[in-house]
Amino acid sequence: MMLQKRRLCLALSLFCSPLALNVANAQEMAQKKHPAKAASQHKSKATALESSAPAEQIVATARRTRSEQSLGRTQLQRILPGVNPLKALSILPGVVFNNADPWGNNEQNSSLFIHGFNQNQLGYTLDGIPLGDQAYGNYNGLSPQRAIISENVGTASVATGAGALGTASTSNLGGTLQFLSQDPKHQMGGQLSQTFGSFSTFRTFARFDTGDFGNGNSAYVSWARQDSRAWDFAGHQGGNQVNAKFIHQGSKDKLTYFFDWSDKVEPNEDAVVLPQGYGTYVRPFTYPDYNYAKSYINSPQYKAAGLNYRNYYSAAQREDFLTYLGWSHDFNRNLHWDNRFYYHHNLGEGVVAGPITAAGLPTLFAAYFPGQDLNSVFGGSGYATRTTEYWDNRGGLTSTLRYHLGHHDIEVGGWYERNNNTQARRWYPLAANNPTTPYERQQGALIDQYTNNFYTNTWVTHLQDAWKVTKNFTLSAGFKSELVYTNGTLPVAGKPGSLSPASAVTVPGGTIAAVKPFLPAFGALWNITPNEQWFANIQENMRSYQDAGYGNATPWGATSQAAFEDFKKHGKVETSWTYETGLRTHHHVNLGPLTDIQAQAEYYHVHFSNRLVAIATIQTLSSIIGSATTLANVGSVTTDGMDFSFTAQFGPHFSLYNSLSYNKSVYNDNYRTGTSLVPIAGRNVTGTPDWMENFVATTNWGNFYGQFIGQVMGKRYTTYTNDMWAAPWAQFNMNAGYTFHGIPHIPALKVQGNISNLTNTKGWSTVGTTQTAGQFTAYPIAPRMFFLTLSANW
């Protein structure tokens, strides 16, 4: 069956044709503003590889010493209006994104891998502002879809090997993802879009642009609201979001102000525990049928479900405020200064209402209410509500000075951030006669189990020089310095006997530093011909420790204060050396129907050192209260792989984009948990497939366009010992639209239809990777869905 799907994918990629889309060149969109003279020189010396690029394309490839590709706003919204830009980037080579909803918005069941590194080992920025490491347990950032409304994203780009030295991130071991917001338009106008679809989807987007209103000023304000019923339970996912942006463009100065408010609630899909759950595809919660929920926990179904029992509800509640003020100044033609001052506040809560008899909870509750009837204590429903509550205040600045001197482009910059964040675990009752819902914040905790406060100062500086040795050959060299100091405190400690195992404790921790004063980078760029280009890059990166406590892979999750002090003395931060090289080509041709072809082929090698693992003292998936862990460096990982992508243009009406990725990431070392050896040396890294293919076939005829999109994902191992895996699958999507002109008072009315998971493929999207042999968790692929979007512009 899988072989047939692969053949279908290849056949469709050969016989269907895609449309090229309006996407600005990634380099021009992602680079900071250059002095006028330098920009003029750059344009005059641009090679045919860049200048001959078609005006419309699905994927734009940057001319850099590293691999970097991007998508523009048009392609993002054609994939699905309101799509998470991370999901859209999954059509690019080397990017593996999975999620159990068609937009990719539900963060609890998201996963992202690039060249063997997971989402917490990558770097993310919006307009140069750091978005943290995308940990679901928020501590230093927010997801791209909460930082900006999807329709306001101008470009989304990914550097799959190593990001730019100036990237404001301390987690980018395996590459960077950058998102740029759209600027205000120069003419007054607006947009109103409405999406309807399967499972009661109702998404509204509205934007008003002031146009230029004197002295170089322009602005816009926009609002989005989404509500959709989850496809396998009665929860409604979505919320409200507001964006505003103002630009003042002077003769030598540019001021930019951006504001984002996001208030979202996403009831969560529970993962299925395998192999116990074989035959079970979904694990929906029982909300809002409260009577059934109360009877369920006394039923044979509950007892037979084992680890796949059903909770009453689960949800991620997130409210964010993000803002920045940018100031750029041209001292002269060759000297440019760029600054960003930013602030982010997050108030979040992850909530689960589940049976009080499940997964070790009687032991926990008995530590706080010894000898009492627990059902009565927690409201008589048989359920208790657990929260992980987040509070985050962070702010900082980035500053970069660029100087063009002869054949040299010199850049020096710095980034400082102060981050104060809190994570707390609390338990609340679920009253038999007045139950709470997944959409409200809990009040009146019965148990304040533990609370961690963290105070982090981050200092990052970088220096680099790009030397144009000849007209066609450029060398670059530089380094960055990362200094991260975190003080963890424990204002509320776990009560003895309340954790898992009963002997475990929470620890006060203390200050620990992640410091690498010299992380070098080297690159080369050679325009071999006007149409071919060779690039190479070598770079070292570091990942700082996550600011989280008990049950997490951090020093502050240690099993004792002595263990914390031992790790502080002997533990090491994760680092990586990335080597990448490749060729780019672009040719206008006259080969029958084929008129233009662009391609890039890349080989990469990565050595990942000092890999950190939180070794659980109890190897099980059953405890929802988490179990004590010991953080340890367990060796290294070696990765080799290749990415290949091309866009073929067939006259003015058809084109085909295709990407193919191969990755081989292998653990180099065994490690011990207690007295047991975990034999993983030579095994494949979990979560990432060894191969993956994507294609986008598009046709364009005046006001009409259509696309056929396919993705084929290879086998993914789910346990460190590689004894279990998720099977390969193929999935297809379609979109088509038509733009009407000449309607009174509406210059353009666009109608777009989308079908996701066209063949209704079943399989596993995100998989939970574990150290435990013989079991893993997995989330299902969302079924086929239909959407219709009406969008008016004026």
DSSP labels, 403-418 = EEETTEEEEEEEEEEE
CATH code where residue 105 lies: 2.40.170.20
Confidence of residue 58 (pLDDT cuts 50, 70, 90): confident
pLDDT in tens, 549-596: 988 899 999 988 999 999 999 999 999 999 999 999 999 999 999 999
Alpha carbons 157 and 128: distance in angstroms, whole number: 12
pLDDT band at 674 (very low <50, low <70, confident <90, very high): confident
Report how far Cα 340 is from the mean position of its chain's Cα atoms.
Answer: 22
Count CA atoms closer than 13 A to 595's CA, side-chain side.
12
The radius of gyration of the chain from alpha carbons, rounded to an integer in Å, stands at 26
Work out the pLDDT band at 625, boundaries 50, 70, 90: low
What is the per-residue pLDDT across 227-246, written as a single tens digit (0 to 9) for each? 999 999 999 999 999 999 99
Quote the pTM value.
0.92
Is residue 52 scored above 50 in pLDDT? no
304 band by pLDDT with thresholds 50, 70 and 90: very high
pLDDT tens digit sequence for 18-37? 333 333 333 333 344 444 34
- CA 181, 184, 185, 191 torsion: positive or negative? positive
**How does strand 123-126 pair with strand 176-181?**
parallel
Give the DSSP letter string of 558-609: -SSHHHHHHHHHH---EEEEEEEEEEEEEEEEEETTEEEEEEEEEEEEEEEE
Q: How confident is the model at residue 45 (pLDDT cuts 50, 70, 90)?
A: very low
Pairing of strands 408-431, 447-470: antiparallel
- Specify the DSSP element, H or E, that contains 459: strand 447-470
Residues linked to residue 616 through DSSP beta bridges, in sequence order: 629
Average model confidence (pLDDT) across the chain: 91
Q: Which domain holds residue 742?
A: 2-793
Torsion angle in degrees (nearest 10) through CA of 768, 769, 771, 777? 30
Phi, psi of 451 (to 5 degrees): -140, 130
Q: Which two tokens stand for residue 351?
A: 């909530």
Check pLDDT > 70 for residue 384: yes
What was the pLDDT predicted at 617? 65
Instruction: List pLDDT tens digits, range 745-757.
Output: 899 999 999 999 9
pLDDT at 503: 81
Mean pLDDT of 361-381: 94
What is the structure's pLDDT at 3? 45
pLDDT above 80 (res 648): yes
Q: Which of 318, 354, 357 is nearest to 429 (CA)?
A: 354
* Residue type (1 letter), 16: C
Report the SS3 class of residue 346. strand
List the Cα angle 231/234/237 in 5-degree steps: 70
pLDDT given at position 566: 94
Alpha-carbon distance 372 to 446, whole Å?
14
* Nearest in space to 576 (alpha carbons), one of 243, 173, 264, 137: 173
pLDDT at 623: 52
Query: Per-residue confidence at 773, pLDDT binned at 50, 70, 90?
Result: confident
Percent pLDDT > 70 in the chain is 92
What type of residue is 277?
G
When divided into structural domains, the chain yields a total of 1
pLDDT at 360: 79
The pLDDT of residue 616 is 73
Distance of CA 10 to the CA centre of its chain: 28
Number of helical (H) and strand (E) elements in the chain, helices listed first: 12, 40
Comparing 218-227, 329-338, 549-558, 725-734, the range with the smallest average pLDDT is 549-558
Is the pLDDT higher at 55 or at 524?
524
**Per-residue b/e over 356-389, b at no fewer than 16 CB within 10 Å?**
bbbbbbebbbebbeeeeebeebbbebbbbbbbbb
Q: Higher pLDDT residue, 502 or 355?
A: 355
Q: Read off the pLDDT of each residue in 92-111 and give the average, rounded to a whole number.
A: 94
Element (H, E) at 9: helix 2-15
pLDDT digits (tens, 9 = 90+) for 466-488: 999 999 999 999 999 999 999 99
pLDDT at 626: 64
Which of 18 and 682 is assigned the larger pLDDT?
682
Cα angle at 527 between 476 and 125, to 5 degrees? 50
Instruction: Give one DSSP letter per residue of 29-67, joined into a string.
Output: HHSPPPPHHHHHHHHHT--HHHHTS-S--SSEE--SSS-
Per-residue confidence (pLDDT) for residue 8, from 0 to 100? 41
Quickly list DSSP for 273-292: EETTTTT-------TT-HHH
Residues in the chain: 794
Whether residue 91 contacts residue 83, with contact meaning beta carbons closer than 8 Å, is answered with no
The mean-pLDDT minimum among 166-180, 604-618, 701-715 falls in 604-618
Give, in order, the Cα–Cα distances in Å from 198 to each of 202, 227, 562: 9, 11, 54
User: 284-296 in b/e burial notation, b at 16+ Cβ within 10 A?
Assistant: bbbbeebeebbeb
Confidence of residue 16 (pLDDT cuts 50, 70, 90): very low
Rounded to an integer, the average pLDDT of 348-363 is 91
Instruction: Find the mean pLDDT for residues 764-788.
Output: 92
The answer to whether 97 and 118 are in contact (CB under 8 A) is: no
